[in-house]
């Protein structure tokens, strides 16, 4: 099982890095859309859809929404609309603030989102802003490194939380959703993220004098990543399943691997737009 997990992880990393550094921005948007489409297929199952036609229709509806967002944001015409982009990302961030209340209130909150229809809408709110956040970052000249920074923040938050939680964990973070997560682990993850992000920024020219902005960005992104993980855990617990799917040998479903990123990407992208720069954009 361990060997299978490692091989799958290597293949995933190679495909992701190849797409990130080898594709143009519009091509990468299509690649990201395919990834999100697989996630939508898995979310349709978590939502309770049973018939194959309905499960196929759900990713297609999400694909249509991605195309509309792509056009509205100006990516097709090459005349990007920063206000529209910021508004959509802000809507995604507001959604995650609502999700936090639902996670905190679980299982009582399930009365609000437990129906099939509500979970389908929830899936759009989870997946569409994540796709847009990744696409937006890819349109910056340093987009590849920004996306890698998000991945690094999520990974470090997870690793830091795991080890500090095992060593010091006493107070449960969300026992009804994920009994293994602790407040001590959350703090340890934040500390790890700040240290690693500081080292990362040493190699990124032009940002050394903006440490507090970057500290705020990576800290809030790390917190969002935890929420993304908790939300999917909550939905899986409500559905009574361990994994979102079985597409990745040794890892379960794709959503099980990108759940933290679904929240981290729109939050990071929005904060980057607000606190760092508005460009330069790629054509």
Residues 124-145 have pLDDT tens digits of: 999 999 999 999 999 998 899 8
Whole-prediction pTM: 0.94
190-242 pLDDT, tens digit per residue, is 999 999 888 877 776 666 677 888 889 999 999 999 999 999 999 999 999 99
Which residues are registered as beta bridge partners of 192?
Answer: none
When the pLDDT of each residue in the chain is averaged and rounded to a whole number, the result is: 90
Domain segments of the chain as ranges: 2-275
Q: What angle do CA 160, 240, 253 make, to 5 degrees?
A: 55
C-beta of residue 81 within 8 angstroms of C-beta of residue 279: no
pLDDT, residue 282, reads 56
- How much of the chain exceeds pLDDT 70, in percent? 94
**pLDDT-derived band at 2, boundaries 50, 70, 90:** low
Q: Indicate if the alpha-carbon torsion angle 106, 97, 58, 174 is positive or negative.
A: negative
159-195 pLDDT, tens digit per residue, is 999 999 888 888 999 999 998 899 999 999 999 999 9
pLDDT, residue 209, reads 72
CA distance 178 to 230: 7
**pLDDT-derived band at 283, boundaries 50, 70, 90:** very low
Helix residue ranges per DSSP H, the chain: 2-22, 25-47, 52-72, 82-105, 110-113, 116-138, 143-168, 183-201, 211-239, 255-275
pLDDT, residue 138, reads 94
What is the three-class DSSP state of 51? Answer: coil
């Amino acid at each position: 099982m361990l060997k299978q997990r490692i091989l799958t992880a290597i293949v995933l990393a190679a495909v992701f890095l190849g797409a990130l550094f080898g594709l143009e921005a519009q091509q990468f948007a299509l690649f990201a859309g395919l990834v999100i489409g697989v996630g939508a297929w898995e979310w349709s199952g978590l939502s309770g859809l049973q018939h194959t036609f309905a499960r196929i229709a759900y990713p297609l509806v999400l694909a249509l929404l991605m195309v509309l967002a792509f056009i509205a944001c100006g990516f097709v015409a090459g005349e990007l609309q920063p206000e529209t982009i910021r508004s959509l990302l802000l809507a995604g961030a507001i959604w995650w603030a609502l999700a936090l209340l639902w996670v905190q209130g679980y299982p009582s909150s399930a009365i609000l989102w437990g129906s099939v229809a509500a979970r389908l809408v929830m899936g759009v709110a989870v997946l569409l802003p994540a796709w847009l956040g990744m696409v937006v970052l890819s349109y910056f000249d340093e987009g590849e490194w920004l996306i890698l920074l998000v991945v690094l923040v999520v990974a470090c938050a997870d690793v830091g939380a795991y080890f500090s939680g095992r060593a010091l964990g006493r107070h449960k973070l969300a026992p009804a959703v994920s009994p293994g997560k602790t407040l001590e682990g959350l703090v340890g993850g934040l500390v790890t993220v700040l240290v690693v992000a500081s080292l990362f920024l040493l190699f990124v020219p032009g940002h050394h004098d903006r440490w507090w902005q970057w500290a705020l960005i990576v800290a809030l992104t790390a917190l969002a990543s935890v929420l993304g993980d908790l939300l999917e855990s909550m939905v899986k617990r409500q559905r009574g399943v361990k994994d979102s799917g079985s597409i990745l040998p040794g890892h379960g479903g794709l959503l099980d691997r990108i759940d933290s990123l679904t929240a981290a990407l729109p939050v990071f992208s929005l904060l980057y737009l607000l606190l760092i720069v508005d460009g330069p954009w790629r054509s």
